[in-house]
Every structure is written in C-alpha cells, then in structure tokens.
Structure 1
Amino acid sequence: PKMQAQGCKTLFDMDELSVMGLVEVLGRLPRLLKIRKQLVQHFIDNPPDVFIGIDAPDFNLRVEKPLKDAGIKTVQYVSPSVWAWREKRIHTISAATNLVLALLPFEKEFYDKHQVPCTFVGHTLADDIALEHDDSQARSQLGLNADDKVLALLPGSRGSEVGLLSETYIKTAAQLQAQNPALKVVVPLVNEKRKAQFIAILNATAPSLNVNLLDGQSNLAMQAADAILLASGTATLEGMLYKKPMVVGYKIKPLSYWIFKTLFTFNIKYFSLPNLLADEELVPEFLQSECNVANLTAALTPMLNSDNKELKARFLAIHEKIRLDASKQAANAVAELINAN
C-alpha cells in the first residue's frame, strides 16, 4: 500500500506471493511459477532501467537471472542468509544480480570476499528507532509504573513457534515471579489466533501467573521491559536497538532440527543478530534442549537485578554502526548503478 501510494503500479496482488512454509508453497507452486514466468516476460518486453528484488530471494533471484541475461540491471535488496548456510548460493546470486544491497556490515564482508558487488546500506529499523529514548511513555501506555520490574515474553509470531516455546517461557516467568512476586510480565501476541493459542498453554501450564497479554504492541512491550525473553529473528535486533538485555530461547521440531543438522553445514557461531553483529556472545542463546527453564531463569535473573550499563553501551555502538539512513543509501546506490556504463 505504501508503494502504491507513491505511484507504484502492481502487476499481481502481493497476497499471491506471500506464502510461507514448505507445504503452503507446494500447494501454490503452479501459480507462483506462472507469475514468475509472466513477470520475466513483462520486464523483457518492457525493460526497466533497473529491476529491484526486495527480500524473497528464492523467488526474486529466479526473476533477476533471466533479466540480467537480457541486459537489464538487477539489484537484490536484502541479502539471503548465504553467509550462514548454503554458501554455494553465492554463485547463483552473482549470476543473477549486478548489485546486492546489504542491511548488515558482516554481509558486505562476505560478498567482498567472494568479489560480488555489494553495498552496505544499514538497516531501516536502526533508522526508525532513536539512539536514545525514554521508556516512561511506553510504561504509561501499558499501565506500568516507572519503578516496576518488567519482563517481556515474545514467543514468536508463527503458530509453530508459539506452540513450541510458550510452555517453557511461561514456566520461566512463573519461576522468576515466584522469586519476585512484584515482577510484571507482558506478552505481546501478533493476532487473536496466537493469543488464544498462548492462553490455552498458559491455562494448562501456570494459570496463576500474573501476566498482561497485549494485542500486538511488541515495540511497546520491549521499550517497557527491563529484560526480554524472545525467539530468534528480527525481534532480537529490535530489542537490541531499544537497548534491552535479552535472552534468546528457540526450538524447532526435533525432526526438522535433525534434518537441518544432517543436510546443511552452518557457518556461524551464533544465531541471534546482536551476537552476529558483535561477533561475540553479548546475549545468551539457548537452542533446542538447552532452551529450558533452568537455563533461561539463570540467565534472566541477573539481568533483572542490574542496570546492565556495559551491555547497553555495546548495543548503542552497534546501533550507531548500522544507522546510516538506509533508504537514502539504497537509493544512491541504485542511482549510481543506473548511471554507470
């Protein structure tokens, strides 16, 4: 809608392309392949100055390759996680793109190593979130006092994540609240379906837990919190940008984990963005069986009883590093590509 408001003409409804999950993709595969073929033909017949694929690399790179072969300049905005796993995809990216726009500095280092054109533009979240901010307004909006101790739980946005993580998160919060009965617990949930799912697990696990369930408002929950327990993903970056101590606890189904570990080689020491950006463990990470109540409680307890000044200073330094006015940097890089011979 925002792009349409700026005059963007849509060839297909974005909802047709917004498909996640292996089974869901397979069910829509014939339609997705048809759309991809039609897009390629449209842009070959009506060549633009540049084609910019935004994220969705499995779809966009296969559009970009034939366009580049036809002499159309192509840009991939948001790098695939090629630096983390399936490193050989770098050859596909090189063949499909004239330029990659990277959100994170270590991504550019990876592309430079492989001699693939890449510009580090920074992250739009780092632009949107102020370097320093007053948490009191967020607390006021959530009915919390300035001197409350607040723990935010973010068990993910997908049903599988909420299903696998909520029980452990709830038990951890209950143990922390038993140690400090005044502890406030806030849980933002992305929609009514996830909220109902979480409530069912809460009632079966710790119905006496004193918890404030929020409709969305994850940004307010993070701003108001003294510490956050959350799943991996962009939320870890957002929590870091709000300068909040956090513990990352994540689980996937055991069979899926076994398949990933067996079939793929991972080239990273950490899986949360704060640690990847720092290249050291700034925030504790617990995966699979290590994501248990004892570990999570032990990691969160000191965070809730400290001012965490050193950690917050590290977060601020990273924030400054990736706060470059990403949209302007990206526009400049694309304009330079268009104007190059």
Structure 2
Amino acid sequence: MAGELSGDLLGAGLMRELAHRHPGIRFEGIGGPAMRGEGLEGLYPLEILSVMGLVEVIRHLPRLVGVRRALLRRWRADPPDVFIGIDAPDFNLGLERRLREHGVHTVHYVSPTVWAWRQGRVRGIARSVDRMLTLLPFEAAFYEARGVPVSFVGHPAADRFDLVPDVGGYRETVGMSGNDRILTVLPGSRAGEVARLGPAFAGAVAVLLARHPGLRVLAPMATPALAEYFRGMLAERGVETAVTLLEGCSAEAMGAADVVLTASGTATLEAMLLKRPMVVAYAVAPATAWLVRRLGLLHTPYFALPNLLAGEGLVPELIQEAVTPDALAAAVEELLEDQDRAATIRARFTALHEALRQDADRRAAEAVEAVVG
C-alpha cells in the first residue's frame, strides 16, 4: 500500500526483491506505475491516498474511511500472508492495527516523522506493526529506545545514485554547458505545494535574475498541469521566458545545478545524493501550521532531511512565513557566491550518502521474511 510516487518506487524495489526470492508470490493493494510494473493488482488509484496536512486530510476523510473499510473487509475475508504499508501513515497505520488484531502480519516501510512531532503516536505504532522498516539510522535508534521492533534498511535511492555525480553528463542531458551558472527550482510535486511555495519561488527567481543576468534557471515539474500552473506564477513576475520548464527530469536538472531551491521532501534527498548545495522551503496550510504551533506538536530543530541526517544546520531551511522571495534569493545567492561553503557541503553529503547505502531492497525483503517466518 503506497500513497505517493516516492512510496511507489520503494514498493517496486521491495516487490522485485521478494519476487526474485519467492517465485509465484502475488501482490495486491494500492500503488503507482512502478509497482504495477512489478505485478501489483491495483485495487484503487495511487492518488486516492495523496493527501497532506491535518486540515487537508479532514476534508477528504469520508472517502479515505470508505476505502479503508472496504480493504479491511477484503483482507479479513481473504487474509494476506503479510500487509506492507508504505508511508501514508495516517491511512496505513490504522489499517495495519485492525489487520494485526485479526492475525495478519504487518510491516510498515518508512517511518512517520514521529521523532519530530506527535511523539505519542509511537504507542499506536507499537500496536500496529510487527516491524518498522526505517530509511534513516536515527529513526531506528528512536524505535529501539521505545521497544518497537525495527530494522534500518538504508535508502534505495542511495543505492541508485553514484557517489561521484556526473555533473557534465547531467548538464549535457538538460542542454546546458559546463560554463553555465545554473539554479534548479522545484516548488513541489503536488498542486497544494506549488500553490503555497510557487509564488515565493517565482519571486526569488526574479530577484536573482535581476542581480545575476547570466544565471540559467531550470524548473523540472512533476506533471504538465503543474508546469502550466508554475508558468503562470513566473509570468506574473515577468520571468517565464527566462526559466526552462522541464517535464520530469528532476534528477538530471538537480545534478546539473550549482544550487537547488526546493520544497522539502524527497527532492532534498536526491539533491543531497547528487551532492548539490540547496535551499529548502516548507509550508503547509495556515490552519495546519496554527494547530501544530498551538498544540506544541513539533519536537525537532530541523525539517530538511540533510540537516536531520547531519544533526546540524548544514543547508539553509525556511519555514512558513519565512518563505519570502527576498529570503529565498538571499540564501541561494550565498551558496552561489561562497565556493568554500559549497565544497564543504558536498563533502558532507558524500559521507551521508555512504551511510545510507545499505542495499535497501535486499534488507527490506529479509526483514519482511523474518516477520512472516
């Protein structure tokens, strides 16, 4: 059960490894094109689970509850050997708990950010899973300290990316030369993210182009619809013709960049694995931000994945009201100009990459086998 494209890739790798080890295995659930390519019988479209934020989930709650009830009925009547929830914790963990109560083995792949906010959730997680699979080492330490069965498997993306990126090759792929100064901008992979971050990102691009006329700007977008949406924001700032919008190609566009300006999420991991200095922004719906602050739910000094892994503010991160065109432009400009800092960041990223390179698909499959027996 995967809730977004990043989970779809994780699920596909795990499925491939399990199928190799157990010929004849059958998979059913929710996934995207990668999981379907590995033989998943899709019961619902992937997009049905792609909801972020407290307020956003509430709006879609009736539909989500209906889907979860239908799946629970299906798997009570015909229990699987193991249920693997991939991310989407608000949906999957409740389903896992109910299935586990009925004797189904359960594994959750990708830890929720329970170490960062709403730490009380760990008690519910302990009732829901036979084993948690984490992508990051500090997550496994968190669960071990609280008695939850856990395996650190590493991150499959760290296995895919080379330790030394081919920057020249990436630049050739996206039509840029070795002498170009390149900024790659990723305002998000969902419409909600682009709505919240896109205007500030477009404004930052306008500020930077005014100060650095020779700067080349790439903007890889997840879908054509999002590309047009962001193009309108760039047009409002008068810079749409100065930005090269790409469909997909996010890894190539980041690999070609001197600096990456990105929404928080999977892109920060890829930028780190590509050894690209970055500025990270994060914003949720205002009501969600108000609830988190009001209830004191946040328990981490950082939200950008490279900073969490490093345990320090390695890359600039801006959150909520701090995400402004001028602030983003200033942070990007500092990384463009300070070559010593950029070199230090790249060296730290290499060490973090090595720590995450664990042959994750194999280790995840072994953990699933251990749960099933």
TM-score normalised over the length of structure 2: 0.83
* Residue type at the aligned position of 2:140: K
**2:367 equivalent in structure 1:** 333
Opposite residue 13 of structure 1, the aligned amino acid is Y
1:20 corresponds in structure 2 to 51
Output the CA distance in 1 between the equivalents of 2:94 and 2:263. Answer: 31
Distance (whole Å) between structure 2 residues aligned to residue 321 and residue 169 of structure 1: 32
Residue 285 of structure 1 pairs with residue 317 of structure 2: yes
Q: Relative to 1, partners in 2 of residues 1:294 and 1:207: Cα closer, same or farther, differing over 3 Å? A: closer
Residues 29-40 of structure 1: pairs in structure 2 closer than 5 A: 29-40=61-72
For the 8 Å contact 2:206–2:237, the answer to whether it is kept is: no
Residues 137-216 of structure 1 aligned to structure 2 (within 5 Å): 137-207=169-239, 210-216=242-248
- The AA in structure 2 aligned to 1:141 is T
Structure 2 unaligned regions, length at least 5: 1-32
Q: Deviations over 1:275-334 (max 9, x none)?
A: 011110100111233223333233222322316222111001111111111110000111
Letter in 1 for 2:364: A
- 1:94 counterpart = 2:126: yes
Query: Which residue does the alignment assign to 1:42?
Result: 74
In the alignment, structure 1 residue 310 sits paired with structure 2 residue 344: yes
By how many angstroms is 1:36 displaced?
2.5
Shift of 1:48: 3.2
- Pair 1:319-2:350 in alignment: no
Partner of 1:127: 159
Give, in whole Å, the separation in 2 of the partners of 1:38 and 1:294: 48
Q: Among all aligned residue pairs of Structure 1 and Structure 2, give the percentage whose two residues are the same amino acid.
A: 43
| Superposed displacement of residue 204, structure 1 | 1.6
Deviation at 1:9, TM superposition (A): 3.8
Q: Residue 229 of structure 1: SS of its match in structure 2?
A: strand
Q: Distance in 2 between matches of 1:134 and 1:293?
A: 31
Aligned counterpart, 2:257: 225
Question: Which residue number corresponds to residue 111 of structure 2?
Answer: 79
Counterpart residue type for residue 143 of structure 2? Y
Secondary structure in structure 2 of the residue aligned to 1:283: coil
8 Å CA contact 2:55, 2:285 repeated in 1? no
> Relative to structure 2, which stretch is displaced further, 296-305 or 41-50?
41-50
TM-score by length of 1: 0.90
Counterpart of 1:315, as a letter, is: F
Determine if contact 1:170/1:206 at 8 Å carries over to the other structure: no
* Alignment map for 1:293-304 (pairs within 5 Å): 293-304=325-336
Task: Note closer, same or farther for the CA distance 1:313–1:197 as it changes in structure 2 (3 Å cut).
Answer: same
> Greater Rg, structure 1 or structure 2?
1
For residue 49 of structure 2, give the secondary structure of its aligned residue in structure 1.
coil
Distance 2:347 2:212 in 1: 27
Which stretch of the first structure deviates more once superposed, 34-43 or 270-279? 34-43
